[in-house]
Amino acid sequence: MSVVDIEVVSKEQNSFIRSCNVKVDGRTIITPTRAIGVTKSNRGELDIASPLINNKFVPFGEVYARVTLDDLSKIIDDDYAGQKFSLSLATRLNQLRDSGAVPYLMLSLVDNERNPYNQMPPPRILDLLFNLIWGTQNNNIVVPPILGVLPNEKQFVDFIDAIEERQQASIDRKDLPIMAVVPSSYRLIAPKILERYWKIGCRVFAFNFENKKYGAFGYVIEKLHSELNEFSKRDKENYIIHALNPKFKTGRGDTSRINNLLGSGFGFDSYGPNHGTPPRWIPPPTPPLEAKSIFDSKTYGFFSLSDIITSKDTVQEEILNTNAFRNVDLDSIANQSSAKVRKIRSSYNLEKTLMELRNFPELIGDGALIKYLSEKNRIQNEIKLMKNVAEKSFMEEKQKRLKEWFE
């Protein structure tokens, strides 16, 4: 049995779109939602999101830290360093909780070049990671250490065995829900990974998108839903799926369009910010006023600050009437530093996407989210793809039912 209570409240017909009530540690999260991401050194997202969090919008809160084997070895050898590290994480978790979010700790193990660690960690390192994850105060959900792609199925099995062993050892203190992290390559490497996680009580699953768009994993998403649906029907227990590290937007210039707000159409109940994997391609710098990076909620595309400055219409008025731009003088923004412009831009994008997301549960209750998204002209290809993925999956379910009928 899971220690997280999940109730499916509403669904849209012939699609993956749904809204759930997820009860964790006395708080109810209404999906679709997202995680508010902070680090030890930066709580910027929390400061922007706090005014928007209330009883109707309870997000997850993600405290992210990237650690190397060298970092962890120093903590093992120095108790003070370990206490200081854990306290800094606990402080952020508490700040998220005080804001109204449901916080969890995410530790990503990387090598000394900051690339994902593609091996099972040494026992003493894995034990320390578990100590930090289970032992850091104010952590409401256990997220196992984020690793790279393990080389074989045996290492995946060993990893889950270690998680189960620590889970059993920790129940006497507090039985926390576990968010199972599913690698993007799980279909090829460890086809039984979902069932193993399910058997140890996981009902919250995170799929690692590695900073890629949803549409890049259509075939894996189909399989993910198919397998989890079977477990759910068999045991009469619900689950949710979290999109870990999805790409914020896709395309460049005039083709730019939002990606992370589209997770619900692919069956993801929540998503987290891009922390886990650095981008593989870094675009050349664009003058900050010219970059197509300001989210447009009417089209789900992006425009530039120069577009806003010259528009002088209701679009400009709407943008200026936000917390991010309320005290910004557009006439002098060209004189601001690039860092200042980027901060304003990021604040605005987070604020507007959160405002969009807060409306999704009500739209789903009315059976109207897919219609609402279909009216956004920049994401028409994505809409077709999410419909195709869902249609294929539901056709397979229908075929299975017919097969059972004739057997």
CATH of domain 5-271: 3.20.20
Check residue 175 and give its pLDDT.
80
Q: Beta partners for 57?
A: 54
Give the helix/strand (H/E) hosting 207: strand 204-208
Whether pTM exceeds 0.75 = yes
251, burial (CB in 10 Å: exposed 0-12, middle 13-18, buried 19+): middle
Confidence of residue 392 (pLDDT cuts 50, 70, 90): confident
Q: Is the previous residue joined to 32 through a cis bond, with omega within 30 degrees of 0? A: yes
- Average pLDDT of the chain is 88
Do 27 and 245 contact (CB within 8 A), yes or no? no
Q: In what order do the strands lie in the sheet with 5-11?
A: 5-11, 18-24, 27-30
Under DSSP, the state recorded for 54 is B
The helix/strand/coil state of 42 is: coil
pLDDT tens figures, 59-102 = 999 999 999 999 999 999 998 998 999 999 999 999 999 999 99
User: Among 314, 270, 296, 272, which residue's Cα sits nearest to residue 352?
Assistant: 296
CA distances from residue 284 to 270, 281, 305, 337 in whole angstroms, order as listed: 31, 10, 18, 18
Q: Beta partners for 204?
A: 179, 240
Contacts of 317 (CB under 8 A, 6+ apart): none
Amino acid identity of 80? Y
Confidence of residue 149 (pLDDT cuts 50, 70, 90): confident
User: What percentage of the chain has pLDDT greater than the value 90?
Assistant: 60
Rg (alpha carbons) of the chain, rounded to whole number: 22
Check residue 1 and give its pLDDT.
46
CB atoms within 10 A of CB 210: 21
In the chain, domain spans: 5-271, 294-403
Residue 227 has pLDDT above 60, yes or no: yes
CA distances from residue 322 to 21, 48, 239, 297, 328 in whole angstroms, order as listed: 29, 11, 35, 13, 10
Check residue 330 and give its pLDDT.
80
Do 51 and 93 contact (CB within 8 A), yes or no? no
Tokens of 398: 């229908």
Residue 276 has pLDDT above 80, yes or no: no
- Report residue 301: phi and psi, to 5°: -100, -160
Q: Beta partners for 7?
A: 21
Residue 26 has pLDDT above 50, yes or no: yes
| Gap between the Cα atoms of 300 and 374, Å rounded | 10
Confidence of residue 248 (pLDDT cuts 50, 70, 90): very high
Confidence of residue 37 (pLDDT cuts 50, 70, 90): very high
